[in-house]
Structure 1
Amino acid sequence: MPCYRLEGVTPVVHPTAYVHPTAVLIGDVIVGPGCYVGPGAVMRGDFGRLVLEEGSNLQDTCVMHGFPGCVTKVEKDGHIGHGAVLHGCVIGCDAMVGMNAVVMDGANIAERSIVAAAAFVKAGFECEPQSLVMGAPAKVKRPLSDEEFAWKQQGTQEYQRLVTRCRDSLEPCEPLAEIDADRPTLLAGDTQPKQQLGSKINQS
């Protein structure tokens, strides 16, 4: 992976984490045990510390950056969807930020909460635990149901399993010219109920 020391500060990646080779880590970055960092993600720790705590994930093309002197953190089992931007904020334990959402400086997303896809969370925003946060600017829409929180946990567990799958078998290769006979699939199971519930959250 592209990894850069800045002014003597070197990124840290726990041996049990998986960071895709195209992700970029700069400066004061700490990736904890069992974390997943996806293709094209950027963790630019040149103004403040960036932390992914145990079991959290930062998916494809996410950007994580900090306000000078602050700590930007995704706490244990946090789940950051494709293309999200985290800037100087804290994402609480077991919380989720949806695809293409933006969470700004000083915002604190409480544990077990979900920030909906494409939401814009203003600087200094706070919410109660297990909240559904939506809109631009984002507001607390309602409490998150136990069913919705369980759906979030299932998704995070899939990414925790993906860490092992990638560490064990992901390798560079040349594409095939034709579909191979008896081609296996990489479906992780029955995802239909999860997809339906995710659509319901984003339409609430």
Structure 2
Amino acid sequence: MNPELTLPHDGHVPEFSARPVWCGRDSTVIGAVRIGAQAWLGDAAVIRADGQPVILGDRFWLGHRSTVHIATFGQGTTCGDRVTVGRNSVLHACTLGSDVVVEDDVVILDEASVGDGAIIEAGATVFPRAELAGGFAYAGSPARAVRPVGQGEVAERAERLREGGTEGIGPEAEPVSDLDPDVFIARTARLRGRVGLGAGASVLFCCALEAEAGPIVIGADTNIQDNTVIRTRGEGVIIGRDTTVAHNVRIGDCRIGARSLIGIGATVAPGTLIADDVMLAAGSTTDPGQILASGHLWGGRPARILAPLDAERRTMMLRIVEGYRQHGRAYRKAQDGLTAG
């Protein structure tokens, strides 16, 4: 069984040392990816190597709606053998050893490393450049060692995670056609209801935009990255132009301004108002009705002001938006090539 969608990127095609044991619905593998034997990919699992390589060892297990990505101009992602990743987790430009268990709703960020035989407990965030030694369980945000673990417990937790994660994510809406030539909608993205997309916007792989009540309006050149879920049950969601919504974000009815960045694995609660020029750090949450003022880096659970939004951060945010404009054009071409073939 092969992934539902595989795409080349910049001349690189995904490589599998053997046919995966299982590939769920909408599972997606892109670019310079090498995957070992006996891989298991859940529903809406995304592995995307569009700038640096992703190298995954034997018996890699990726749960439903989890994402593996890279830092385009910086670092790839590498995992040893027998790595188990739960649901709705993100491995981003990091290095994991062998026999590592990453539970549900975990975010592991750029240049972090995790040693052999470690457990990252549910909901944890591993901060950039963190070095987590093997043989410990880690929890919290930032993730910290809470106790030593033996190989027997690691194997038991991995087995429990795999057994509990075999049930899929269930039926979703049918994908919609991408009618605007300046918009990219991934074939494995699911949009339902009143969804409006500005010119140059992109909705990447396995996203779910569900306008159950109010509309979802995405501004021009804004990118919605893999496995993000936006769902309205009230007034709707409006996101301004030139904004990045990173992987595996959860968004309820809210307003998000222009030129902002919502970090990996963040949760934006209903009623939140995020002003223009805001960065919300990875793994953060907002409280219902919270207002995030312009010109700041916000982070934490719930989010609070951490630092001014300096020139370096603003430049980085603009670079991401421009990079995703280019990704959108490249993915559209590759996806259209599949249709033509």
TM-score by length of 2: 0.46
Within 2, Cα distance between the matches of 1:28 and 1:12? Answer: 14
Calculate the aligned-residue CA RMSD, in Å. 1.9
2:328 to 153, 159, 163: 163
1:26 to 192, 197, 204: 192
> What secondary structure, in the 3-state scheme, does the structure 2 residue paired with 1:169 have?
helix
Residue equivalent to 2:295: 130
* Bigger relative contact order, structure 1 or 2 (CA pairs below 8 A, ≥6 apart): 1
> What secondary structure, in the 3-state scheme, does the structure 2 residue paired with 1:162 have?
helix
Within 2, Cα distance between the matches of 1:30 and 1:154? Answer: 24
> What secondary structure, in the 3-state scheme, does the structure 1 residue paired with 2:325 have?
helix
Given that residues 50 and 71 in structure 1 are in contact (C-alpha distance below 8 angstroms), is that contact kept between their aligned partners in structure 2? yes
TM-score by length of 1: 0.76
Within 1, Cα distance between the matches of 2:333 and 2:178? Answer: 21
Aligned runs of 1:111-122 on 2, under 5 Å?
Answer: 111-122=276-287
Residue equivalent to 1:43: 209
Given that residues 12 and 29 in structure 1 are in contact (C-alpha distance below 8 angstroms), is that contact kept between their aligned partners in structure 2? no
Distance 1:59 1:50, change over 3 A: same
Q: Deviations over 1:62-114 (max 9, x none)?
A: 0011132x120111011000000111111110100000000011111111110
Shift of 1:13: 5.3
Runs of 5+ unmatched residues, structure 1: 5-10, 174-204
Within 1, Cα distance between the matches of 2:179 and 2:252? Answer: 20
Q: Identity over the aligned pairs, expressed in percent? A: 23
Runs of 5+ unmatched residues, structure 2: 1-172
Residue equivalent to 2:160: none
Structure 1 residue 101 corresponds to structure 2 residue 266? yes
Within 2, Cα distance between the matches of 1:137 and 1:125? Answer: 9
Q: How many residues align?
A: 166
Given that residues 94 and 112 in structure 1 are in contact (C-alpha distance below 8 angstroms), is that contact kept between their aligned partners in structure 2? yes
Distance 1:109 1:166, change over 3 A: same
Structure label with greater radius of gyration: 2
Residue equivalent to 1:91: 256
Within 2, Cα distance between the matches of 1:87 and 1:25? Answer: 15
Distance 1:15 1:2, change over 3 A: farther
Shift of 1:17: 0.2
Q: Deviations over 1:19-67 (max 9, x none)?
A: 0000001011112211110110000011111011100011000001113
Given that residues 175 and 188 in structure 2 are in contact (C-alpha distance below 8 angstroms), is that contact kept between their aligned partners in structure 1? no
> What secondary structure, in the 3-state scheme, does the structure 2 residue paired with 1:44 have?
strand
